[in-house]
Structure 1
């Protein structure tokens, strides 16, 4: 079955129109970038005085500035890593509970998931910051941020994992039960590995959201890269340059996370092919 069944292949005129449209969009983007650079240049935003502290190692404030950035980046990565781990663990447990538990308990989990999904993440973080100390949990700002991020993202991940489990053919779990596996073994060895593999792009997208949401740490006075950027701006008066660098840092982190996901998926696929090849060789040897 070819793709022509689903849509017609573009002809010469369609290809020409597509090429012209792509060139026009490219020229428009170049014009916008040129206009932005021209505007920044006329307003003195491209001078060495503005960019030197961030990009020039010979600048007197370069080392101190990147020391602050490094401290903030460490805080961002620490909060993001903790929120990722807790969200994945709690989200997986919620997904399992919703799939296999008794109906009355399942509806309780559904209620919790729907409640937390409907609350903005900034409210979650602020709620943890204001409410937890009043009940005796006087934690550091980092934990207020992590708790808020985990409460929001764990229910999203729960729905992603649940969708992955439900997308699998029922025959797989039925076959696993038929050979004597218990429910826990079916989940851990058959369903969950395939669900994670199937939903890996969606999971990575949610982990990227967690990294970006760590920028909300400023509302709980957490020292992250955004808060340190504000300190730099107050001292140097270069908000455009500083926020461009911070944005580039977040882009690099999220790109690295995406590449890690691609690498993990490739390794998982190779491992699966290797196991299938070993089984095929073993079966051939037995038949011989």
Structure 2
């Protein structure tokens, strides 16, 4: 009976020895102490300036302030929902244009992508709001869609092109059309590689909804600004930031968690495990073929 032993090293790096492990522990402890010291210093400053005084937090118990914050949060999620869906659609359309066999279509799509990627989001939002004279919500959604859609177009195009060239050639050899190759062969394999970048860009879109307060859209940050500037409540700026910031961070973390969950489900799904083009049986119809 043979006993299998674990290798002492891999092809990429050596397993750390006792000295290296001890050094890593020292670095970890030192980093933890430094982080705790910074957090303690910040908490001390907040205590020293009276930011945790009960009088400064009591207004959050008022129903009017709670309703204002909830309404602002709902408006933020509404703008993000519209912008996320439209950005994905626009990104897919522009990616198809960039991958087109027609030179004029590729050129137009490339110009649009590069133009909207280069334009600051705030400039596009102000242009739609002021020049086109539309309401704050459509102006905010339009600006976010044009920018994030153009970025996602490059993500989609790169993801499709990153699939092994042999998959594409094998699909064409079976007589599949380009639409079929992209839909049934390339996209299923590319989606797992693209998903983290897509979610990261959607997180950017979620955070950029805060630009809506500059065009008087009553989103979450706008609600916090109204509360902090209302002298009737005597509520300073810092407590408002301490309430709004964790909610923004929580929404971004929830979106990242959702991306991780979707990626895990994709890896477990038999439909997305090593999607490859296999030789077709005689008489077998290809997807969408007549």
Greater mean deviation of Cα atoms: 29-38 or 233-242: 233-242
For 1:47, the equivalent position in structure 2 comes to 53
Query: 1 CA distance for matches of 2:8 and 2:204?
Result: 37
Report how far residue 91 of structure 1 moved. 0.3
Q: What is the root-mean-square deviation in Å for CA atoms of aligned residues? A: 1.9
Partner-residue secondary structure (3-state), 1:187: helix
Q: 1:39-188 to 2 correspondence within 5 Å?
A: 39-54=45-60, 59=61, 61=62, 63-133=63-133, 139-188=134-183
TM-score, reference length from structure 1: 0.86
Query: 1 CA distance for matches of 2:272 and 2:219?
Result: 43
Q: 1:162-193: CA deviations, max 9, x gaps?
A: 11001001221222222232221222222223
For 1:284, the equivalent position in structure 2 comes to none
Report how far residue 36 of structure 1 moved. 1.1
Q: 1:105-125: CA deviations, max 9, x gaps?
A: 212221221121111111111
Query: 1 CA distance for matches of 2:85 and 2:228?
Result: 32
Greater mean deviation of Cα atoms: 173-182 or 207-216: 173-182
Query: 2 CA distance for matches of 1:3 and 1:85?
Result: 47
Query: 1 CA distance for matches of 2:199 and 2:78?
Result: 17
Report how far residue 3 of structure 1 moved. 6.4
Query: 1 CA distance for matches of 2:215 and 2:115?
Result: 23
Partner-residue secondary structure (3-state), 1:5: coil
Q: Could you say which structure has the higher helix fraction?
A: 1
**Structure 1 spans left out of the alignment, 5+ residues:** 134-138, 277-288
Give runs of ≥4 in structure 1 deviating > 4 Å: 273-276
Q: 1:7-22 to 2 correspondence within 5 Å?
A: 7-22=13-28
Q: 1:1-45: CA deviations, max 9, x gaps?
A: 996222222221111111111111111111111111111111111
**1:247 has 2:236 as partner:** no
Report how far residue 266 of structure 1 moved. 1.9
Query: 2 CA distance for matches of 1:2 and 1:114?
Result: 49
Query: 2 CA distance for matches of 1:193 and 1:250?
Result: 32
